Each structure stands twice: as structure tokens, then as C-alpha cells.
Structure 1
Amino acid sequence: MSDVTTRALRLLALLQSKSVWTGPELALEMGVTTRTVRRDVDRLRELGYPVLTSAGHGGGYQLGAGRALPPLLLSSSEATAVAVGLRLAAASGVEGLDEEALRALAALDRILPAPVRAEVGAISEATGVISRPAAEIRSEVLMRLASAVRDGVRVRVDYERADGDRAERRLEPYRVLSVEGRWYLFAWDLGREDWRTFRLDRMHAVHASTFTFTPRPTPDIEASVRESITVGGYPTTATVRILAPIEEVAPQVPARSGTVTADGSDACILRAGAHEMHWLAMQLALIGAPVEVIDPPELLTAIEELGAWSAGAHRAPGALSDPPTAD
């Protein structure tokens, strides 16, 4: 393979890895001059690759959308990750993504080297997705937000809140996360000047702009999203100390139900939102460890009422001491 061909493939791989490159950045990465970069860009254009050039602040070289997707230059590990990801995406429950994922997987499978195909098969056999009814989101919403996070550009979102109020929100997107089958966006809300968490299934449209933003200092994103979805959406917040190690309690608390933090080696703090204190009292009973109610007092009342109810349970008159055995 000639040096010119090697450089062209290297340049194509770099253009695929980042949205915009300046000439000096490409020259530094490739170890050539900016003049050589311009010549190699011209060669890619002659081969049909739409390499765009933009001037001014933030400008540079960018691989644009063409009539067909250019060849993706993937290592064996990257190809394995893509193939496994496509198989999981096909069963993800994202509306419109399953068929596209299957078609993309079929195209990729035809060109996978035998060792990579075998590795993909082995990993796929060891993993799986058990689907369950969940709020569906449109695949274009997920893809546009993920691209906006990657490129660091602002977005406009047609968003509907839980109370039905619908309005346009201007956001700086920082992270898209999936929590137990539901997708969320963590973003800086420009209108409210604060961090917010948004459900993707409540987004009717997403429009990405070309305006980049300077990243702000972020809080712990995963913790913030958990706090928002477990407490922020409820009228009442409860805080209890559970007298058991966090290693025993955390696996019993779903990510969308509450947040658990350690309180020494033998206790932990649970924060959860609730519409009804009696429901939360029953959930605590399922954990089975002693609890100390920090707030609100109504939760302690609900627990006491649950205890009084359970203490009044007794065997019905005439009931058998042992259940009958089946033949």
C-alpha cells in the first residue's frame, strides 16, 4: 500500500472520529504539513467522499453526509462492540430502532472476519435483553440527542411535562442515560438556568443547533439523575435510616425507586419520593431490616398502622393446620 493511500485511509479514519478538525490539528495527528493535508482532502473528494470546509471561528474540515455511508474503519474490538451493541439494540424497545439495527447488523455480519464473528456469537449467547412494557421513544430523538452531546451543541426540545404542559425548552445537553428501560437526558436548561433531567418519551421533537457551548462544571450526573427521578417527581420525600449494610439494601432498591447512601458500615440512608406513605411503608417492610424514620412523621404513622394491621391477622376458623398436598 502506497504512502498516499495509507495517509488517505488515516485521514478518513480521523474525520470519522470527530465532528470538525482544523488543518493544523490534522497535520499534527498525521505528522505532515497542512499543505499535504489539503492535497489528501482533495483526493478523498475525488473518490466521492464529501469532505466539507468551513471558515471562521470553529471552522475546519468535516466529513459531510453523502449519497452513501463511507466505509467505517474499525478495529476488531470496535467491530465486536458495534455488532454486540446492534444485537442488543434490536431488542431495546426503542421504537423504530429494532428493524434498523437488524438491517445494519446483517450488513456488518457479511464483512466480519471469522474470528470476530465467532467472538460476537459467543458474547451474544452470554447476554440478552428481557423486554418489558415501557414508554417508547422515537429513535431519531435518541440519535439526535446523542449526537448533540457528542458535538457539544445546543438543542431545542418540544417537551411535555407530567402534568400535560407542553413547551419548547432550550438546552445544553450533557448526557443521555438509560435507567431500568427508560431514557433520560441530563442538561442545563437555559430558560431556568439550572440542571434538569428530561424523559425522552415525553419529547415530541428535537432540533440540534450549530451553536456550541462551553462545558460547565457538572455535578455527579448519575446521582443527579437518580435524585431527580426518585424524588423530584413526587409530592412527598421520605428519608429513613436502614439498620443494615448498604451492600444488603442497595440491591433491593430499584434505581427508579430511591437512592441509597452508606451511613457507616452497618447502616444506610434511603431517600425516596412517594404519592402515598402507606405504599412506601410496605416497600420498607419488604426490605426486612429495622428502620429509623428521619422525615416525614407521616411515614412513621403509616408504618405503625401497617404493624397494627399485620398484628391483627389470624387463621380463619376451621382452616386446616397444614395445606393439602397435591396428588
Structure 2
Amino acid sequence: GIEEASVRALAKLEQVLPARLRRRVGTLGTATVPLPAGDGPTVDPEHLTVLAAAIANHERLRFGYRAGAGTRSKRLVEPHRLVAAGRRWYLVAYDNDREDWRIFRVDRLSEPFPTGVRTPPRELPAADAGAYVRERMQGTAAAHRAVATVYAPAAEVAGRLGGPAAGEVEPLDEASCRWHSRPDSLEWLAVRLTLLGHEFTVHEPAELTAYLRALGGRASRAAHPGAPAGPAADPEQTP
């Protein structure tokens, strides 16, 4: 979601890189092709630069912030870490006005600037920033553990899921395996299973089976516009 602004940021970065690193960055640039950003959240790379510098210098930041409900506020924080999760960036920081830790979506930040005030590092109430974001995100919605058989080799499935962070992949035979997921939302578990590109059977939870059934019905109706729509399925109520 950085789009063409990333080119400007890269140009600034290349000016200060040693020659060896500049060549490596140039090689990466010629070997990669970005997909269109689509309608995902857009992050200003200059904001990432400001936030990263403040984190490295243990320097307080001020910025404007737009909450999910649309309300706007001014924040004074002690930035701790940036966390990249999927297509979004999050800032983990201690909010001085609220005297508590907060997670901010970087695409909702505006006009971040360092105050010049340096502070000693605070101890985050989690093993690391990634774990903190994961725990807080799971706390905002009901989390479920999935158990599913995927009809593909275990090594391939583990690679597509992203490794141990997604849960345990247990080989059953050369052509199938069983996935025991980490706790997550029904929506995300369904997406992860569907994007594997292989047939699968969900053993638990029942809520995930119901969600997939409702999702499959909507997808089928979308593929056949002339078919009767029928009643909307509620994943929590579908047997």
C-alpha cells in the first residue's frame, strides 16, 4: 500500500547507503515487481521513517490519530516498536495522556513529529511487540482453535501457512496432514484454509464449519447470479 511514494523514500535512502548496500538494493529493485495496491490501507513511507527514528532514539512523538469510529484526537506517545502484520503496519507505544500501552494503525496516523524529549525504555507487558499485537487483536474478537485435515504434503502446507507461528502441522501420510491452528478469528481461519489451494476437512470447531458453509453459499450465489438468493446464513446460528 505504499505505492509511488516508496520510490521517493528509496531515493532518499540510496543517497546515504554505502556503495555495497546500494548495489544490493538496486539488485532487489530490478528483480521484483509489485502488485497493484488495490483498495488496501495506504501508509506514507515518510511516516514509517519518522516512527522508526523515534523508536531508535527513544524519543516521544506527537501525531494526529483517527480511530475506527472516525473520531480524531492528538496523541503524545513513547514509541516502542513497529509491527508489520499482513497488509497493515501497527505502532506499539506507551500513551502518555492515557498512561497505558496502545496499538495504533499507522495508516490512520497524521503529521507525526518527534518532540526532542528522550525517555528511558519502558517494559512492554508481553514477550515482544509482535506477541502483544497478536494477543490484543485476538482479544477484540472471539478466538477459535481449528483442527483440519489438509490433503497435501505437510511441508507444503507448513510453508504456505508461514511456519510454526500459524500452529502445528502434523504429517498423516505423504499426501495429507493435520493442522492444529493457533487461536484466531473464524474469518481468518477460513481464509487461511481456503487460500491453501487444496481440499480440506474441518474437524473442529463447529463454528468454523458453519462459517465455511455460509461463506460457500454466498460464493456459489455470486458465481450464479440467476440462482435464488435464499435466506442469509448466520454463522453463529447455522447448525
Range into which the TM-score falls when normalised by the shorter chain = 0.5 to 0.7
SS for the counterpart of 1:272 is coil
Aligned to 1:291: 202
For the Cα contact (< 8 Å) 2:146–2:179, is it kept in 1?
no
1:209 aligns with 2:115: yes
Higher strand share: 2
State the superposition RMSD in angstroms. 4.2
The letter of the residue matching 1:132 is: A
Please list the CA deviations of residues 42-89 of structure 1 after superposition, one character each: whole Å capped at 9, or x if unmatched. Answer: xxxxxxxxxxxxxxxxxxxxxxxxxxxxxxxxxxxxxxxxxxxxxxxx
Aligned to 2:74: 168
- Rounded Cα–Cα distance in structure 2 between residues aligned with 1:118 and 1:282: 38
Please list the CA deviations of residues 249-291 of structure 1 after superposition, one character each: whole Å capped at 9, or x if unmatched. Answer: 4544589xxx6223777542243335xx6x9657645543333
How far apart are residue 139 of structure 1 and its match? Answer: 3.8
SS for the counterpart of 1:164 is coil
How far apart are residue 174 of structure 1 and its match? Answer: 1.4
For the Cα contact (< 8 Å) 2:148–2:180, is it kept in 1?
yes
Aligned to 1:32: none
Higher helix share: 1
For the Cα contact (< 8 Å) 2:82–2:91, is it kept in 1?
yes
How far apart are residue 152 of structure 1 and its match? Answer: 0.4
- Rounded Cα–Cα distance in structure 1 between residues aligned with 2:61 and 2:218: 52
- Rounded Cα–Cα distance in structure 1 between residues aligned with 2:155 and 2:123: 30
1:237 aligns with 2:146: no
For the Cα contact (< 8 Å) 2:64–2:73, is it kept in 1?
yes
Does the C-alpha gap of structure 1 residues 141 and 103 become closer, same or farther in structure 2, counting only changes over 3 Å? closer
The letter of the residue matching 2:185 is: G
How far apart are residue 165 of structure 1 and its match? Answer: 2.0
Does the C-alpha gap of structure 1 residues 251 and 131 become closer, same or farther in structure 2, counting only changes over 3 Å? farther
For the Cα contact (< 8 Å) 2:75–2:95, is it kept in 1?
yes
Question: Number of aligned pairs?
Answer: 205
The letter of the residue matching 1:271 is: P
For the Cα contact (< 8 Å) 1:177–1:184, is it kept in 2?
yes
Structure 1: unaligned runs, 5 residues or longer: 1-91, 311-327
How far apart are residue 173 of structure 1 and its match? Answer: 0.9
The letter of the residue matching 1:150 is: A
* Residue of 129, 133, 140 corresponding to 1:221: 129
- Rounded Cα–Cα distance in structure 1 between residues aligned with 2:25 and 2:211: 51
1:102 aligns with 2:40: no
- Rounded Cα–Cα distance in structure 2 between residues aligned with 1:148 and 1:286: 37
Does the C-alpha gap of structure 1 residues 135 and 118 become closer, same or farther in structure 2, counting only changes over 3 Å? closer
Aligned to 2:44: 138
CA radius of gyration, larger in:
1
Q: Normalising by structure 1, what TM-score?
A: 0.48
Does the C-alpha gap of structure 1 residues 173 and 116 become closer, same or farther in structure 2, counting only changes over 3 Å? closer
For the Cα contact (< 8 Å) 1:173–1:188, is it kept in 2?
yes
Higher relative contact order (CA 8 A, sep 6+): 2
For the Cα contact (< 8 Å) 2:3–2:37, is it kept in 1?
no
How far apart are residue 200 of structure 1 and its match? Answer: 1.1
For the Cα contact (< 8 Å) 1:171–1:187, is it kept in 2?
yes
Please list the CA deviations of residues 195-219 of structure 1 after superposition, one character each: whole Å capped at 9, or x if unmatched. Answer: 4321111012223223322223332
- Rounded Cα–Cα distance in structure 1 between residues aligned with 2:216 and 2:48: 46
